């Protein structure tokens, strides 16, 4: 599992010019799965995300977590996080989970985030989406399950 976390002042995702998910201050998460991912991996990454201290405190040090700043989450599925560009010029997505498997994991992941008490908005799985955001910082962090 891979997640790109972007600390945002606001973010929204649209499908066919219709906003389907929108948040204020919080995290925009780009989320990708591989077929080997398991619920325990998803649990671990969700816990890591909600407890990250990457918001500035009164001294502008990254010391505050999402709950402390009353942040929200916009979660967007992103199978291209597993693009393999090691050969040729066209990416291969063979490492990405199948659509059915990824959807199950994506829904589980979002429910897990909600269990921590956060507002979680989403894009639409397997749709072409337009994502707009105002970065805060910018602060962008990548979590890869293989690094945990």
For the beta carbon of residue 118, count every other beta carbon within 10 angstroms: 20
For residue 142, give Cα distances in angstroms to 1, 7, 71.
11, 12, 19
Domain span at 41: 2-147
Tell me if 86 sits within 8 A of 109, measured CB to CB. no
| Distance of alpha carbon 56 from alpha carbon 135, whole angstroms | 14
Which CATH number does the domain housing residue 127 bear?
3.50.80.10
Could you tell me the pLDDT band of residue 34, with boundaries at 50, 70 and 90? very high
How confident is the model over 69-120, as pLDDT tens digits? 999 999 999 999 999 999 999 999 999 999 999 999 999 999 999 999 999 9
| Mean pLDDT estimate for the chain | 97
Domain count, the chain: 1
Q: Is 105 helix (H, G, I), strand (E, B) or coil?
A: helix
Residue numbers annotated as active site? 78-80
Tell me if 54 sits within 8 A of 139, measured CB to CB. yes
């Amino acid at each position: 599992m891979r997640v790109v976390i972007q600390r945002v002042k606001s973010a929204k995702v649209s499908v066919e010019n219709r906003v389907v998910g929108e948040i204020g201050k919080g995290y925009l998460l780009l989320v990708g799965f591989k077929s080997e991912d398991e619920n325990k991996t998803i649990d671990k990454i969700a816990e890591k995300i909600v407890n990250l201290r990457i918001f500035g405190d009164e001294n502008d040090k990254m010391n505050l977590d999402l709950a402390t700043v009353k942040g929200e989450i916009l979660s967007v599925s992103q199978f291209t996080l597993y693009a393999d560009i090691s050969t040729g010029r066209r990416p291969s997505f063979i490492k990405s989970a199948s659509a059915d498997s990824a959807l199950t994991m994506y829904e589980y992941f979002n429910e897990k985030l909600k269990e921590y008490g956060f507002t979680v908005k989403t894009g639409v799985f397997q749709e072409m989406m337009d994502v707009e955001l105002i970065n805060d910082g910018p602060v962008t962090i990548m979590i890869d399950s293989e690094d945990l």
